[in-house]
Structure 1
Amino acid sequence: MIDYVATFIFLFAVIDPIGTIPVFIAVTSRFNKKEKRKVAIKASLYAAIILLFFLAAGEYILTSIEIPLSAFQIAGGIILFLFALSMIFGESKPDIELKIAPKESETAIFPLATPSIASPGAMLAVVLLTENASYSLWEQTQTALVMILVLIITLILMLLASHIHRVIGNAGASLISRVMGMVLASVAVANVLAGIKEYFAM
């Protein structure tokens, strides 16, 4: 049996439901309430599909093409770091992404479903937490259920984002986005360093 609390905290950190709020607010700023609700639901559903796919097949894919988990960890860390930089320095990242994703269905996929919710770090986390050599099928199922719980929390926070936005305002949303960018950058660097250490220890 897995440690539910530790797994929840780990997945909550890498999926980062709170950090998704400013991204959601920014990319849905010109949508009405009904459209925002659709985007939130679709983004959560797409993210769940992506993460469940990596949970079930991620290790097999990496093994089949002979890519060690450490290399995936380094690559994920680099991508996450670049994403974090765009959050910190963005001209603003939301403005750029709004031009790229003009439709609600596209916005739900990018940047919300990925890389905001199903980030490289989250993909890596579900692969590592369900490694076949270390975890039974039942334990992997438990991890999947915890992951879905975190995604439900993410959905709830996105649905409440308008109320949260009223309290924190645009300045608060921008501040949260940049602070979360710093946190993500730190997590990214830690992933890269851990991957390098594991790679050379092989």
Structure 2
Amino acid sequence: MTFDLFVTAFVTIFLVIDPIGLLPFYIALTSDHTKIERRGIALRSTGISLVVLLLFAFAGDQILQGIGIGMPAFRIAGGVLLFMTAVDMLFEKRAERRGNQTEASDRPDPSVFPLATPLIAGPGSIAAVILLAGDGTDRVEALSITLGALFLVLALVLALFFLAGPVERLLGKVGINVVTRLLGMLLAALAVQFVVDGMHGLGVI
């Protein structure tokens, strides 16, 4: 029974976070960084998302209720932020900023936003860990299974981020530009879906 619950938790978190789908976003968002900087971004983004998801796994309901924020509003906010990133990717705003930056310290660091949140620790993954950690009558068992599945999924995310270099070399500069535009469109659609889901949760639509 415990193994079945672990498989359920792992599959749920894996599908929500989607480590394979995150890789192209990571490549696009870190294309102007060095290999060492990329590794740092990978470590920071997964580490920060782990802290955020652990926090919500242990006290998610209390946190949102305590500050008067419902999950629908959280989804809408995440959607708006993601849409802003999508616009940057579609209209080369990031490329324009890169052209005006000469120091490595001036480059935007995507590890916190949008990688750690809302792409990894977004409304979907936060809702998933809150629900999984509170599932069933045995709170300790449910929390332990959820945390084990979460650690495994984030380890896969980190491993795939470390493989970004070979994947990027395979695609080439033109391929990366094409993928960035396509992902910008997909990210915009995902952002709109977050907003729609949030509005549906609020009963607006």
TM-score in same-fold range (> 0.5): yes
Aligned pair partner of 1:114 in 109, 114, 117? 117
Between stretches 163-172 and 177-186, larger displacement belongs to 177-186
Unaligned runs of 5+ in 1: none
Within 5 Å, which residues of 2 pair with 1:1-202? 3-5=5-7, 7-29=9-31, 31-87=33-89, 89-93=90-94, 96=97, 102=105, 106-131=109-134, 136-200=139-203
Distance 1:134 1:104 in 2: 48
> Would the alpha carbon gap of residues 11 and 74 (structure 1) be closer, same or farther in structure 2, given more than 3 Å must change?
same
Distance 2:7 2:201 in 1: 25
Q: CA deviation at 1:103?
A: 6.7
| Preserved contact between residue 23 and residue 94 of structure 1 (Cα < 8 Å) | no
The count of corresponding residues between Structure 1 and Structure 2 is 200
Give secondary structure in 2 for the equivalent of 1:200. Answer: coil
| Preserved contact between residue 54 and residue 127 of structure 1 (Cα < 8 Å) | yes
Distance 2:60 2:198 in 1: 17
Q: CA deviation at 1:133?
A: 8.5
Q: TM-score, normalised by structure 1?
A: 0.73
| Preserved contact between residue 39 and residue 108 of structure 1 (Cα < 8 Å) | yes
Distance 1:95 1:6 in 2: 44
Distance 2:32 2:148 in 1: 34
Distance 1:34 1:3 in 2: 38
Q: CA deviation at 1:62?
A: 1.1
Q: CA deviation at 1:6?
A: 5.0
Give secondary structure in 1 for the equivalent of 2:203. Answer: helix
> Would the alpha carbon gap of residues 23 and 62 (structure 1) be closer, same or farther in structure 2, given more than 3 Å must change?
same
Distance 2:12 2:190 in 1: 12
Q: TM-score, normalised by structure 2?
A: 0.72
> Would the alpha carbon gap of residues 36 and 71 (structure 1) be closer, same or farther in structure 2, given more than 3 Å must change?
closer
User: Identity over aligned residues, as a percent?
Assistant: 37
Unaligned runs of 5+ in 2: none
Q: CA deviation at 1:7?
A: 4.0
The structure number with the bigger radius of gyration is: 2
